[in-house]
């Protein structure tokens, strides 16, 4: 097995890119920001800038249009978030910034990051407008008073523009985040119609992992003398151990089981090229005793949220996904990426395996291929400039006492933000006057009308009994185990 250094990989999530050598990088304190803003950045552990921040922020703070090639994990969200917030006129109660994202997950991440950055600016209203959720509450929120910043997906943002519930005629900053992905998903027309609702005199920031001709054409249409910024992906000397296993016809499923038994990864994303295959493979693995969940484009938003919650809180060990479904997801502590099928695009392959090996941890990338797919491996080697290790699937050996049981169980509570439920309420109900400890309670996710809490497997039954029989915040809610 060789170590493959990835020139295009997502080497670190944003939270792990904040501490860097001040000798070689520029401090945030060098920017023309207020003392309160800088103190908030310091409290968030933003000490020095990542390359994309260092190159783009001074220009964006000057009001320049920017076209930047940057990948997830490069620090781009903080870059345009700081620029937007620094440009806000708090006494002007109109929508001043719009960020368009390809997926709800990315929009949610962007909103959360901007809210953290905005803590030094009181009463900064930020609204997330995405499809897959009820539109009624969005109308109500927009009707109360206009948000300063809107983050959303093109389809839902356009619907609000057309219905008149969202006014963009005072927007000062427009951000297209992951522009290439929005084009891939067919949002070109929606994007252009939304842009028609914004003033011609505005700052336009375009961020894209790749810069195909169509993106460059859009830039020419909507930007004014944009400054082109490209940065090398960040490594932090991280390495991903990658191995390709040759399989014969009809051996793909058994070989995948062999990989799981041989490496026993605590958490893994298995990539398929087709959404139907995701569903079928999840069923096949569950029949073999594995805890696997499928993530693909046919899922309703509620089911999609639930899948992501269960995987991220370690209640499931295997997530089977397509590239489109997984785009924009920030999955931390991912032990392994497994390519059930190779992507025909070597750059997509690099994006896939770049999801492991983050935060200074060693990553594992395993790919299955049939003899007819050798040309795909050649394309990967040519793209990375590195040779790869190829082994036969017969070399996969299961470990003794094999078990891939997830360490946590998810409990579903039939109440959420609209019931004023907070994470502390759930944690308190589980640990107050009980023998459960905080260490046995995992991630807590709260949505509008539903909440999820992860608890360790051995105490799941006890935790379910506590939440079902005791009041939470003075009320009793329905609770079930997923």
Q: What sections of 135-236 are H helices per DSSP? A: 136-144, 154-163, 179-184, 188-195, 213-222
For the chain, which residues score pLDDT lower than 50? 1-24, 233-237
CATH number for domain 240-395, candidates 3.40.1350.10, 3.40.605.10, 3.40.50.300, 3.20.20.100 = 3.40.50.300
Amino acid 330: pLDDT: 60
Amino acid 118: pLDDT: 93
Amino acid 72: pLDDT: 65
Residue with token string 């790869």: 388
Amino acid 331: pLDDT: 66
Amino acid 194: pLDDT: 96
Amino acid 437: pLDDT: 83
Half-sphere exposure of 13 (CA within 13 A, CB side): 16
Contact between residue 12 and residue 238 where contact means Cβ atoms under 8 Å apart: yes
Domain boundaries, the chain: 18-230, 240-395, 408-481
Contact between residue 76 and residue 208 where contact means Cβ atoms under 8 Å apart: no
408-481 topology per CATH = Alpha-Beta Plaits (3.30.70)
| pTM of this structure | 0.60
pLDDT tens digit sequence for 327-350: 656 666 788 999 999 999 888 898
β-strand pairing of 363-369 with 336-339: parallel
Same fold, 240-395 and 408-481: no
Amino acid 232: pLDDT: 55
In CATH, the architecture of 18-230 is: 3-Layer(aba) Sandwich (3.40)
β-strand pairing of 451-456 with 441-446: antiparallel
Q: What φ, ψ does residue 449 adopt, rounded to 5°?
A: -120, 10
Q: Which residues contact 388 (CB under 8 A, 6 or more apart)?
A: 2, 4, 242, 243, 244, 377, 380, 381
Q: Find the Cα–Cα–Cα–Cα dihedral 135, 140, 143, 149, rounded to 10°.
A: -70
* 282: nearest Cα among 339, 291, 250, 258: 291
Average pLDDT, the chain: 85
Q: Find the Cα–Cα–Cα–Cα dihedral 90, 92, 94, 100, rounded to 10°.
A: -40
User: Measured between alpha carbons, how far is 28 from 18 in angstroms, rounded to an integer?
Assistant: 10
Burial 134-148 (b: 16+ CB within 10 A, else e): eeeebeebbeeebbb
């Amino acid at each position: 097995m060789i170590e493959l250094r990835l020139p295009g990989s997502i080497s670190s999530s944003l939270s792990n890119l904040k501490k860097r050598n001040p000798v070689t990088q520029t401090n945030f304190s060098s920017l023309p920001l207020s003392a309160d803003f800088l103190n908030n950045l310091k409290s968030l552990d933003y000490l020095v800038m990542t390359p994309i921040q260092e190159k783009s922020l001074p220009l964006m703070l000057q009001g320049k249009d920017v076209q930047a090639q940057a990948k997830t994990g490069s620090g781009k969200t903080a870059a345009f978030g700081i620029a937007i917030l620094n440009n806000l006129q708090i006494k002007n109660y109109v929508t001043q910034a719009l960020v368009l994202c390809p997926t709800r997950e990315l929009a949610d991440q962007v909103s959360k990051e901007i809210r953290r950055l905005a803590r030094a600016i009181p009463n900064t209203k930020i609204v997330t407008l995405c499809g897959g959720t009820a539109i009624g509450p969005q109308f109500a929120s927009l009707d109360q008073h206009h948000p300063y910043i809107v983050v959303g997906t093109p389809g839902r943002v356009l619907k609000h523009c057309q219905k008149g519930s969202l006014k963009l005629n005072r927007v000062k900053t427009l951000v297209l985040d992951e522009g290439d992905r929005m084009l891939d998903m067919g949002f070109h027309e929606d994007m252009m119609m939304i842009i028609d609702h914004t003033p011609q005199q505005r700052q336009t920031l375009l961020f894209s992992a790749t810069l195909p001709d169509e993106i460059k054409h859009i830039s020419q249409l909507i930007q004014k003398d944009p400054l082109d910024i490209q940065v090398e992906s960040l490594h932090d000397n991280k390495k991903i151990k990658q191995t390709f296993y040759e399989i014969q016809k009809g051996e793909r499923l058994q070989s995948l089981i062999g990989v799981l038994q041989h490496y026993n990864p605590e958490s893994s994303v298995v990539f398929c090229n087709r959404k139907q295959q995701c569903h079928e493979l999840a069923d096949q693995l569950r029949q073999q005793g594995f805890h696997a969940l499928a993530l693909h484009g046919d899922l309703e938003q509620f089911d999609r949220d639930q899948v992501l919650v269960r995987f991220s809180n370690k209640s499931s060990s295997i997530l089977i996904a397509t590239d489109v479904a997984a785009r924009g997801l920030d999955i931390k502590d991912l032990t392994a990426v497994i390519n059930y099928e190779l992507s025909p695009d070597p750059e997509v392959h690099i994006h896939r395996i770049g999801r492991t090996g983050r935060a200074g941890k060693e990553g594992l990338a395993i790919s299955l291929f049939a003899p007819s797919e050798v040309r795909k491996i050649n394309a990967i080697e040519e793209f990375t400039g590195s040779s790869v290790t190829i082994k036969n699937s017969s070399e996969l050996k299961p470990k003794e006492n094999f078990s891939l049981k997830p360490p946590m169980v998810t409990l579903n509570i039939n109440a959420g933000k609209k019931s004023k439920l907070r994470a502390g309420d759930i944690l308190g109900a589980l640990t107050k006057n009980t023998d459960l400890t905080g260490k046995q309670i995992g991630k807590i996710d709260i949505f509008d009308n539903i909440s999820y809490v992860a608890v360790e497997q051995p105490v799941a039954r006890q935790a379910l009994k506590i939440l079902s029989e005791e009041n939470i915040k003075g009320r009793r809610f329905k609770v079930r185990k997923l």
